[in-house]
């Protein structure tokens, strides 16, 4: 499957907000929604990325989300279930005109450790310009090597992401918590 890597685009936070507005009424039913985080490379100013907005809603009950599967389809999202990560509900949104993926949604219960992992990695990428440049260089090198193999690109990034996430979690839990979105 072909994909692209683009320089950071300042429109990405605005696109995140647009998708957030679409999802909030559905996820907020029965007061289930805790928050929706912008994650992934499009959430890191200055970082090149696949132009796909990654969102991570935190909810009180994942089973309540399961009951809403048809509602997501009504607004154009494809329900993909756990899709390889226990406890996650994964949805995708493809642009109706181009067919290209433009949004991915990773829903977890608010108590899931996956949330902290994603936020720790994102926040370290936002705050550490050297790590951000290292990650961007890796991504661009992998894209040059595997321009038509998104899986090879993904698996090539994985060791770096795991290592940096461990470091980011150590830093995160060693410093006082701040409000983060």
Domain membership flag for residue 42: yes
Residue 54 lies in a domain: yes
DSSP bridge partners of 79: 91
- Predicted pLDDT of residue 155: 97
In a domain, 52, yes or no: yes
| C-beta separation of 78 from 91 below 8 A | yes
Do 31 and 51 form a contact (C-beta atoms < 8 A)?
no
Could you tell me if residue 107 is inside a domain?
yes
Asked whether the predicted pLDDT for residue 179 surpasses 60, the reply is no
DSSP for the chain, written as a single string = -----B---TTHHHHHHHHHHHHHHHHTGGG-EEEEEEESGGGSTT--B-S-EEEEEEES-HHHHHTTHHHHHHTTEEE-TTTTSTT-EEEEEE-TTT--EEEEEEEEETT-HHHHHHHHHHHHHHH-HHHHHHHHHHHHHHHHH-TT-HHHHHHHHHHHHHHHHHHHHHHHHHS------
Q: What is the pLDDT of residues 103-139, one digit of tens each?
A: 999 999 999 999 999 999 999 999 999 999 999 999 9
Strand partners, 94: 101
Does residue 180 sit within a domain?
A: no
Q: Is residue 62 a part of any domain in this protein?
A: yes
CATH number for the domain that contains residue 37: 3.30.460.10
The model's pTM is: 0.92
Q: List pLDDT tens digits, range 26-77.
A: 999 879 999 999 999 999 999 999 999 999 999 999 999 999 999 999 999 9
Question: Residue 145 is part of which domain span?
Answer: 12-174
Query: How many independent structural domains does the chain possess?
Result: 1
Task: Note the pLDDT of residue 22.
Answer: 97
Task: Write down the pLDDT at residue 11.
Answer: 98
């Amino acid at each position: 499957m072909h994909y692209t890597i683009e320089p950071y685009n300042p429109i990405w936070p605005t696109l995140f907000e647009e998708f957030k507005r679409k999802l909030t009424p559905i996820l907020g039913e029965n007061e289930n929604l805790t928050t929706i985080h912008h994650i992934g490379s499009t959430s890191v100013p200055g970082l090149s990325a696949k132009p796909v907005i990654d969102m991570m809603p935190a909810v009180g009950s994942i089973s309540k989300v399961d009951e809403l599967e048809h509602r997501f389809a009504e607004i154009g999202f494809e329900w993909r279930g756990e899709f390889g990560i226990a406890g996650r509900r994964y949805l995708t949104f493809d642009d109706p005109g181009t067919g290209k993926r433009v949004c991915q949604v990773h829903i977890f219960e608010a108590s899931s450790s996956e949330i902290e992992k994603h936020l720790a990695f994102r926040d370290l990428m936002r705050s550490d310009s050297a790590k951000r440049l290292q990650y961007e260089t890796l991504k661009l090198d992998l894209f040059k090597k595997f321009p038509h193999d998104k899986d090879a690109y993904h698996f090539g990034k994985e060791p770096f992401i795991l290592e940096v996430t461990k470091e980011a979690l150590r830093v995160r839990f060693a410093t006082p918590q701040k409000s983060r979105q």
